[in-house]
């Protein structure tokens, strides 16, 4: 099926150059109109955006998005900044670096006023990992932070006031490099993905430590990326070097156990690795829709999949999943690989996504349904 026959297209909104080296990751601030990106150039760049009306062209939508560079945080990390994560409040930014540290950043007071920007300061440096940090993530309430590294460990930190962090657990479950950590959207369940081809799910034992409650096996190679179904977290998507995306049904059993099984496998990136996933509620078009899953592959493509759940009237039969490709974008960053794809989480921008590429560019896109 060619792109033109698909229900929607992915249209360019902004092309943000600026990083001097490969851009690894993009993260939308959940509360403010800010987009952050990080790079092998060791910096974090922040962009602000606003809606502008384009009355001159009545054929186009009434508003479009205008992005402008806000500030660059040099970070002080001595190696690549691989990933970044905003706290749910949007006030704190965490950086995961190949220098094996996690940085915690906040903007100085006074920067809240319109037009002025306070300096971004490093409030804390979380040391503990022995080798490159690959991913960092805040829990839905912002009270916990998870990080992972090539040292095969996953660390869980409790977030205290005044940028104070306490390590709650070091999980040594994977046998290899841990590539990604992702928190459940509503509960304190953590997922991690690894070079050992598995995904692990962790729970907190109130009377003891964090522990691995389930291991998801099925991928044939490194699992690069994870994305929870955003509304209820009943499904977890994983993207792998084996070129497939798997969607797992995750069912907590009481407080202390989790059941998980693969519900569907998506293939659309040829034989190339799936590098990044992002799952948004989307703009629901039909009942049973679980939203839009965006995937970015080493084939340079970005694909938007609409995932649907079909429940049986018989409660004993588990629901099944189906998908349709809403839109596909080839050569999102020309001949360069796409390292990250991320949906904007803010209300009114559910159809906006950003990508980061090996060309050092950050690009912003919007989904438009074809007439």
Partner 1 sequence: MSAEIFNPNPTIFATTKSKTTYAKPSSLWLDESDESDEDELDGNNEREEIDQDEIFELIRSISDPEHRSMTLEQLAVVSAPQISFDSPSSSSRRNVTVEFTPTVPHCGMSTFIGLSIRVRLLRSLPNRFKVEIRVKPGSHQSENALNKQLNDKERVAAALENPALVEVLEQCLAGATA
- Given the rule CB under 8 A, which residues bind partner 1? 22, 40, 79-80, 82, 98, 131-132, 134, 150, 177, 179, 195, 221-222, 241, 270, 298-300, 330-331, 335-337, 358-359
Indicate the residue among 80 and 124 with the shorter CB distance to partner 1: 80
Which helix (DSSP H) or strand (DSSP E) does residue 250 occupy?
A: strand 244-253
Strand partners, 39: 23
Q: Are 329 and 301 in contact (CB under 8 A)?
A: yes
CB of 202 to partner 1, least distance (A): 22
- The DSSP symbol for 161 reads T
Indicate the residue among 47 and 195 with the shorter CB distance to partner 1: 195
Indicate the residue among 189 and 303 with the shorter CB distance to partner 1: 303
CB of 79 to partner 1, least distance (A): 5
Q: Are 309 and 318 in contact (CB under 8 A)?
A: no
CB of 309 to partner 1, least distance (A): 33
- CB atoms inside a 10 Å sphere around CB 140: 16
Indicate the residue among 134 and 249 with the shorter CB distance to partner 1: 134
CB of 340 to partner 1, least distance (A): 12
d(CA 174, CA 16): 37
Comparing CA positions, the residue from 218, 221, 138 lying closest to residue 182 is 138
Indicate the residue among 51 and 334 with the shorter CB distance to partner 1: 334
Indicate the residue among 39 and 87 with the shorter CB distance to partner 1: 39
CB of 260 to partner 1, least distance (A): 25
End-to-end distance of the chain based on CA atoms, in angstroms? Answer: 18
Q: Give the C-alpha distances (Å, rounded to integers) separating 37 from 19, 70, 227.
A: 9, 12, 19
Q: Are 150 and 213 in contact (CB under 8 A)?
A: no
CB of 280 to partner 1, least distance (A): 25
């Amino acid at each position: 099926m060619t792109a033109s026959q698909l229900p929607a297209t992915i249209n360019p909104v902004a092309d943000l150059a600026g990083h001097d080296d490969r851009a690894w990751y993009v993260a939308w601030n959940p509360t403010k109109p800010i987009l952050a990106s990080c790079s092998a150039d060791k910096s974090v760049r922040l962009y602000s955006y606003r809606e502008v009306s384009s009355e001159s062209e009545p054929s186009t939508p009434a508003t479009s998005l205008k992005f402008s560079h806000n500030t660059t945080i040099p970070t002080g990390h001595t190696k690549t900044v691989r990933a970044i994560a905003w706290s749910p409040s949007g006030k704190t930014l965490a950086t995961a670096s190949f220098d094996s540290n996690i940085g915690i950043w906040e903007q100085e007071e006074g920067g809240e006023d319109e037009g002025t920007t306070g300096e971004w300061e490093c409030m804390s440096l979380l040391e503990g990992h022995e080798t490159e940090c690959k991913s960092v993530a805040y829990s839905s309430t912002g009270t916990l932070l998870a990080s992972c590294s090539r040292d095969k460990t996953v660390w869980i930190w409790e977030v205290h006031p005044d940028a104070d962090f306490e390590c709650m657990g070091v999980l040594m479950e994977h046998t290899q490099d841990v590539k990604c950590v992702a928190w459940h959207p509503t509960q304190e369940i953590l997922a991690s993905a690894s070079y050992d081809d598995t995904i692990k799910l962790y729970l907190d034992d109130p009377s003891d430590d964090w522990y691995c409650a389930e291991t998801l096996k099925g991928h044939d190679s490194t699992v690069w990326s994870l994305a929870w179904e955003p509304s209820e977290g009943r499904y977890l998507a994983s993207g792998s070097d084996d070129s497939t995306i798997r969607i797992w049904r995750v069912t907590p059993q009481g407080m202390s156990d989790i059941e998980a099984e693969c519900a569907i496998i998506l293939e659309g990136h040829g034989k190339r690795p799936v590098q990044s996933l992002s799952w948004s509620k989307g703009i629901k078009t039909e009942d049973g829709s679980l939203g839009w899953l965006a995937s970015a592959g080493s084939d340079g493509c970005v694909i938007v999949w609409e995932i649907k759940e079909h429940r049986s009237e018989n409660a004993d039969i588990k629901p099944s999943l189906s998908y349709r490709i809403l839109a596909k974008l080839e050569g999102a960053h020309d001949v360069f690989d796409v390292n990250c794809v991320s949906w904007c989480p803010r209300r009114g921008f559910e159809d906006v996504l950003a990508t980061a590429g090996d060309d050092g560019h950050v690009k912003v896109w919007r989904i438009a349904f074809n007439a």
